[in-house]
Structure 1
Amino acid sequence: MKGLLLRLSEVDADAEAAVRVIAYFDELVAKQARLSDLVRATAALAGCVAGLRRDGVPAPLRFAPDGEPAADAVTEPASADLGAPPGKVWLERIGAPGPLDDLVLERFAMAARVLGRAEHAGNAPHLADPALVELLLGEQAGEEDRARALRLLGLAAGRPVRVLAVGTEDGRDPGAAAVGLLARGGSLPRLHVATVGEVAAVLLQPRDDHAIVGALRSALADRARERDAAGGVRVGVGDAVPGLEARRSWLQAKLAERFAVPAVEPIVVHGDLGSLTLLAEVPVARLRGQDDVLALDTLAATPTGAADVAALEAFCRTGSLRQAAVALHRHHSSVAARLAHVEDALGWRLDEPGDRFRARLALLARRLAQRG
């Protein structure tokens, strides 16, 4: 796992550092790190001894920052419980706690819980063979080949499959972001993740479709509370379909992902779009050339324009000035000032229903054009 090593001493203790810590542990989960590798990586990250103990396992795993087994403990560790099955992880830091130790412990425990459960059950979330995923989700394969791909991926042909499309706006690996996002929930269903183009395809056979969507919403809300919203994760959810029709769910998920907006509406379920899907049938070139879309692009290119457009997007999606401010982690007076600037720049009056509808439609068209 050498390529994943990060040290907190190399980054500032600010929101950006917190985002990098979260991404660090998400990547370890996505790469199916062994528990021993996870403990070593945590020790290297924190710059102190890290440990992990699970009930039923006689000796704990303890490693120093250099990756070697640690000597006897010389300090009272800060710890976090793993929950069920019982166990805990800890950091043995001499002196005052580091500014991100609580976050490191939280992510360490979460990763240990997921990887430990997968190790015990043999049901790890993992990066799938891209060729099998492309065959299953592609256009050309026949029914026999799709059935074989399902079988090789460990998915039951007789049970419904649901496909997610996960994209990012910060250049981060969408496959790692997808696994990290799903790892935040409780028990994981059997899933496969593969990067297809610029988004990750996640194949699921959940026992409860509603629970999966609810868990994703909670995980994305956690990201916002961690101020990781700038990381820009977008999720589209396709319908539950027979396994041999997984491509249909994939196309729906990709379409839904084009409508998603990080922080404001990061997850979009295809079945909830209704007639809005008709907008996705408009050619991208026509969307890009529409006057209102061009006006938004012009505004976004100004020094403060991107923040103005983000405020407009939040307001149109939430329908409330205060809710928009909450979504953007801004004071409502700041959001109000930005909306006033949008009105002056574009000639819209957002207290008028017709102009609000026009703004929402233009924003949707711009999003679809950007992801065409």
Structure 2
Amino acid sequence: MPEGHSVHRITRQFERNFVGHIVHASSPQGRFAAGAAEIDGRRMLQARAVGKQMFLEFEGDVWLRVHLGMYGAWDFAGDILMDATIASANGRIGQTNQRGTFIDSPNPDAVVLDAPVFDRAGENSLTSIGAPRKARLRMSESEKDGGALDVFPPEPVGQVRVRLLTDTVSADLRGPTACEVLDPAQVEQVVAKLGPDPLLDDGPEAEEQFTRVVRKKPTPVGLLLMDQNVVAGIGNVYRAELLFRARQNPHTPGRLVPEEHVRHLWRDWAKLLAIGVETGQMMTMDGLSTDEWRAAMANRADRHWVYKREGLPCRVCGTNIVLEEMGARKLYWCPYCQA
């Protein structure tokens, strides 16, 4: 399931390519024909992401809400204007000169890369820096560059729930859990039920809300982090990594988690979410050298502490990482470091 960083990145694509433009909407698969008709011909006014949900506003107080769920993805095609942050592929863009773009990673050790590093599994294969290109681009949990585009708009591929189209760019949505047209009051009702998102709520009030809610719950903290009503955007990968980084047992009831641990989880989530939006990859390792950073950007196995490492020795203590089920999702943790 796409986690919060992916949805924020997709929203930035809409901000760059659709906001301010008249949008034509259709439902090639037919399941969203009525909703598409409500949107068709309206100008997109803004794009918002809150946790794992995104909201596109159109003229006339009309909103499109999308939750990608387990299988949803957006395919962009056409003269795609890449958001500078998205296009950086591996970190914040530094400066551009005749030799190209220098990429300064969010690593506190100030690793500087003179070229993007591409993930072997295609988690982030974006290469364009801020310039339009006629191409295909899939955006979900794994972002993949589909290469050059010969005809625009391209023929819909597969079960496209909704196609949004301007004169230069198309966006095709497949497999979402939710796709619906709402009015402003309905949007606010949905957002009001969600927990804070540190990219939107970076003040002390959001931290206090998260801390207060967690510390009054008898529910295991490993479940609370996945509850979008408690905190928005955290999925299976970030849950495992945040808990390990805090050396927190996932089974501890929220009300028994020390307050300093709860606050650490919130601040660490804000940090990791920002890195994820900047790089497109869920980098959760700190203190890496330049070579280690490159290796981690190229291979997911090198950028996580516990996720997908069941049966392998903990990177800190050597105890085998445990895999179990919690909340119908896989949980990875170290029974020694997080005892």
Q: Which is higher, the Rg of structure 1 or of structure 2? A: 1
RCO greater where, 1 or 2, for CA within 8 Å and sep 6 or more? 2
TM-score, with length taken from structure 2: 0.29
Name the structure where helix makes up a greater proportion of residues: 1
Q: Whose strand proportion is higher, 1 or 2? A: 2
TM-score, length of structure 1 as denominator length: 0.28
